[in-house]
Structure 1
Amino acid sequence: MPEGDTVWRQARDLRAVLEGQRLLSSDFRVPSFATVDFSGQLVSRVESRGKHLLMFVAGHVIHSHLSMEGHWDIYPALPGDRRARWRRPAFTARVVLETAAATAVGFSLGTLEVMPEELVSDAVGHLGPDLLGPDWDAEEALRRLLAEPGRAIGVALLDQRNLAGIGNIYRNELCFLARVHPATRVADVPELPRLVELAKRLLEANKDRPQRSTTGGPARGEAAMWVYGLAGKPCKRCGSLIRHDTLADPVFPTHAARDIYWCPRCQGGSEQPAS
């Protein structure tokens, strides 16, 4: 599941093949931008902001968001007229950017849009401090979380307006590490600054790993996670069976309730009020 660390790696890899390069061609496979052509234009920079990817080209920004299934693949240029075989179905490609050295293909992107550079704040201006960005500010993230003290910590952590980069895996793992049920009110979370610090440390520890681990163990299978996806399994800390439910966000009633996992002994009871 793409979260801030995944997007950071995507930006790093795309930067290596696109930044400072001229595009031989661009192919936007979404109706709204099908006529956009950046052929011959220089990609000046590539960066991530939370879960968003930004590519700056000729006074414009190519903005993408991976959502649940999106991914950018990079294929090296082959000799002659040969083309690398794509690893994903062609019908899921939303944009193809080609340079002399490589081709970058955005598959199944949840968001893809092109905008003038001066309007980039419309896409990412709402974001809180980026956990993996140069603007990271723990005090500002803490201030934003505390601005809604009655909100469940499990939904406040997912709100990218508070701090950018946490998805459902990290919010569940962070709540376990902080020993709080995801439905605990922000105001009732003990040592909230420590939780914010843990979020930064977890994403930093995983940003260079192809497979995520929050336990410090092998980055694969059940050993990689404390509680996420492990309903019915024994807690690695106390042996109690991990529980599962969903938690909705009243601030965004149209959003689907998301899965939560917790240990009833390490994190409290199975039912805790969100407000």
Structure 2
Amino acid sequence: MPEGDTVLQTARRLHTALAGQILTHSDLRVPRLATVDLTGREVLDVTPRGKHLLTRIEGGLTLHSHLRMDGAWRVFAAGERWRGGPDHQIRAVLGNRAHTAVGYRLPVLDLLRTSDEEKVVGHLGPDLLGPDWDPGTALRNLLSDPDRPLGEALLDQRNLAGIGNVFKCELCFMARATPWLPVGELPATTARLLVSTAKQLLEANRDRPTRTTTGRTPAADTPRTGARIPTRVRPQEHLYVYGRERRSCLRCGTPIRKAVDADRPTYWCPHCQAGPTP
């Protein structure tokens, strides 16, 4: 499932290609929207909200999409061959004279009044990459059910919006707690630090082509911020635990373990992280 940083980058690409331009092509390939024609309307902006994408269109309309597990929006130059999957996986096409945005495998695609956007995103907690970010509210939300496993609480977008499975695993490692530890058992200082760390991680990765939580990333992937370029590293060292089953923990050397729950993998270090395990 895409994380908040990935959704933000997708929104930027869509906004750059579509905003301020008149649609010359519109094709929404879901039954309830099959007769909708948006051609002739201007795209006003594309805004991310947590993991949701809101494409606002002239006339008070918003095209709402969510990528879920494997959805994607691809942007192509006019005349460029589309690449992203077979045609039967295409759910939306929005084009202007210069660019075409193609939505593949979109499990959520709705057209609603812009004034009704709260109906689809109003349940979300503070957005880690949004203007509504509020660490105090996020912390209270996270701790509202003390018996809930930490990993579940982090993934619940009603608590704080933007964390997916990768950041869930990495944040639990950094908190030295297993994802199955009841969130109420976290020390108060650890819980507060967890929220601020989540914000820092997503902010640090909002401009990176390769996500990193360890600070070890290929030099070519380092944003041009004037910061010192880190040393090139071997593959699989840009994350602490995610995707590193059987590899040595970067902190203690213990082999990383993996569990699968509802088709979602969870990775953790049995030495560095305290708490219950499957």
Same fold (TM over 0.5): yes
Equivalence for 1:240: 254
Q: Which deviates more from structure 2 when the two are superposed, residues 147-156 or residues 261-270?
A: 261-270
**Displacement of 1:270:** 5.6
Q: Within 5 Å, which residues of 2 pair with 1:194-233?
A: 194-218=193-217, 221-233=235-247
- 2:177–2:275: 8 Å Cα contact kept in structure 1? no
Could you give the per-residue CA deviations for residues 221-273 of structure 1, whole angstroms, max 9, x where no partner exists?
311111112121111100111112245xxxxxxxx36322111111025637x
Paired with 1:21 and 1:96, the residues of 2 have a C-alpha distance of 15
Root-mean-square deviation (CA), in Å?
1.5
Paired with 2:136 and 2:110, the residues of 1 have a C-alpha distance of 32
Equivalence for 1:30: 30
Paired with 1:35 and 1:221, the residues of 2 have a C-alpha distance of 47
Equivalence for 2:81: 85
Equivalence for 2:223: none
Whether 2:154 is the aligned partner of 1:157: answer yes
Paired with 1:161 and 1:186, the residues of 2 have a C-alpha distance of 15
**Displacement of 1:32:** 0.9
**Percent identity of equivalent pairs:** 52
- 2:180–2:275: 8 Å Cα contact kept in structure 1? no
Number of equivalenced pairs: 259
**Displacement of 1:110:** 1.9
Equivalence for 2:60: 59
Which amino acid in 2 is paired with 1:63?
H
Equivalence for 1:42: 42
Compared with structure 1, are the counterparts of its residues 48 and 129 closer, same or farther at alpha carbon in structure 2 (3 Å cutoff)?
same
Aligned match for 2:95, one of 86, 98, 122: 98
Stretches of structure 2 that go unaligned for 5 or more consecutive residues are 219-233
Could you give the per-residue CA deviations for residues 41-86 of structure 1, whole angstroms, max 9, x where no partner exists?
1111210011100011121110000111111111112xxxxx2101
Give the secondary-structure state (helix, strand or coil) at the position aligned to 1:157. helix
- 1:61–1:117: 8 Å Cα contact kept in structure 2? yes
Equivalence for 2:133: 136
Moved over 4 A (4+): none
Paired with 2:53 and 2:275, the residues of 1 have a C-alpha distance of 39
Equivalence for 2:271: 265
Stretches of structure 1 that go unaligned for 5 or more consecutive residues are 78-82, 248-255
Paired with 1:224 and 1:105, the residues of 2 have a C-alpha distance of 30
Paired with 2:54 and 2:241, the residues of 1 have a C-alpha distance of 32
Give the secondary-structure state (helix, strand or coil) at the position aligned to 1:95. strand
Equivalence for 1:125: 122
Q: TM-score, normalised by structure 1?
A: 0.90
Which amino acid in 2 is paired with 1:241?
P
**Displacement of 1:146:** 1.4
